[in-house]
Structure 1
């Protein structure tokens, strides 16, 4: 019997990669035969966490049906964010903290979705509920995901539950939460060696909104100017990828992790509607978003409402 594959979304961030690893570990402890895999290469931030806790990055797959009949999804549920042949395999389980959209199955499944800041917060609870011990390296990866997804517990997506879990995981992982968190976030902010495609797509997702396909990427930095000086290059790459992939609107959220603000670079014919969604002016394809750090909670909802 083939292994059950466990994976997060395309263009995987730290939560997508680590939740595949941690949930796979839990399932194996419960008697299943699973393997954590990835739908894209790991980012610098994720690599920092993996290296710190001595864990090998999952292998990357482009299809699932060629090697298994059964999969488990973490940190996503929408089909356009998953493996391309998701319709050809049986989904046994989903653990997620995002909206539920474009999702249906032919068979019953385990589905756990909660409005918390990170998928690994839910997976932590599943370990506890099943009385499975959390090893140091698994605790470290869970903690890294919570830090990443909540910007060290400062994002509006962060809940008291995320905070409590992070504190407990820091003890299990043997790290000081604030110091490790800052080092992790800093590791993911160096863009000097990245080309335009990497900046746009290392952490990007497609969202159907009305009749449109909207792609929203996010890059965390400590100095937004290092991205803004490359705006023309990024807009040209956005144009090329939009034409090639039928993207109607492409937005890059440039997030200052120190000040918890963002600048949005916007490409597409719907800029007027984007401006209305946020009640902000777009000047030279750029929009200032004070206090905005969360794609999931502060960017996707107003856009979805605008394009409904």
Structure 2
């Protein structure tokens, strides 16, 4: 019986790569699976797939029309998953995020670790099952780890993530430092994107204190270039809030060169944002030095503040 494997909506490099890697592993173990996506890959991910001559996965909007069971990677929260998740059986989850808004009617295989990237966990699973990682897949997986850890600059990075990249780089025959910087810069080409694309490209929804909180992160090498478009970005966010019922929208604009973030906050309650980050919003904005991780540096303090 075929199963679909996919990462979260608004997929990043880890969501796409983890689906491909876990699907490959499961197929080697006797399952019949296909890696799919819940959205179009971003520029960084397209660069990665093109670099390793790997096809873009097809995008689905629902799972039940095709299969009765699915496997989740790089997420577990229902609002970040396929729209009809409640209509299918979840048989496997491999993730490195918090567990929230997730439940199943039947037992499942669930593997979660507080590491920097799902692909780091997957390398351990390949070893556990004594399945060799092909060179191309090794290149994809090291790309995912570099993406999620911002080339080891993110506080989510663990020694296991660094060791995994070095190990995978040998298999793939890649100079991970030179390649990693090229890859990260490929994801910062923002001039060609509309404001709607910028505020939705890597967005995730969280339920906090009875509020619907949307957090999106944009990587750049020039904060001023992004904030030159601030008025239109605000309009795009306000439209997102109206159409989707978001109470609060945080746009993280992160400079990957110096690991600082400027926050643009639209919606309420803004006082909770000020409390979370011990700062004062000025014109709906705040600079957060050293903040690069939504998962570790933004979501937990917000959750605590709510």
TM-score tier, shorter chain, comes to over 0.9
1:1-308 matches, within 5 Å, as 1=1, 3-307=2-306
* 1:130 Cα deviation from its structure 2 partner: 0.3
Q: Secondary structure at the match of 2:246?
A: coil
**Structure 1 stretches lacking a partner, 5+ long:** none
Distance, in Å, in 1 between the alignment partners of 2:23 and 2:70 is 11
Counterpart-to-counterpart distance in 1, 2:236 and 2:192: 16
CA drift of 1:226 comes to 1.2
- The number of equivalent residue pairs is 306
1:199 aligned counterpart, secondary structure: helix
Deviations 1:96-155 (A, max 9, x none): 000000111011100000000000000000000000010011101100000000000110
- Cα distance, 1:269 vs structure 2: 2.3
Q: Helix, strand or coil for the counterpart of 1:274?
A: helix
| Cα distance in structure 1, aligned partners of 2:101 and 2:27 | 29
Distance in 2 between residues matched to 1:269 and 1:294, nearest whole Å: 22
In structure 2, how many angstroms separate the alpha carbons of the residues matched to 1:210 and 1:270? 11
Give the TM-score taking structure 1 as reference length: 0.99
Runs ≥4 in structure 1, deviation > 3 angstroms? none
Residue 15 (structure 1) shift: 0.3
- SS of the residue corresponding to residue 219 of structure 2 reads strand
Q: Tell me how large the CA RMSD over aligned residues is.
A: 0.6
1:73 offset after TM fit, Å? 0.0
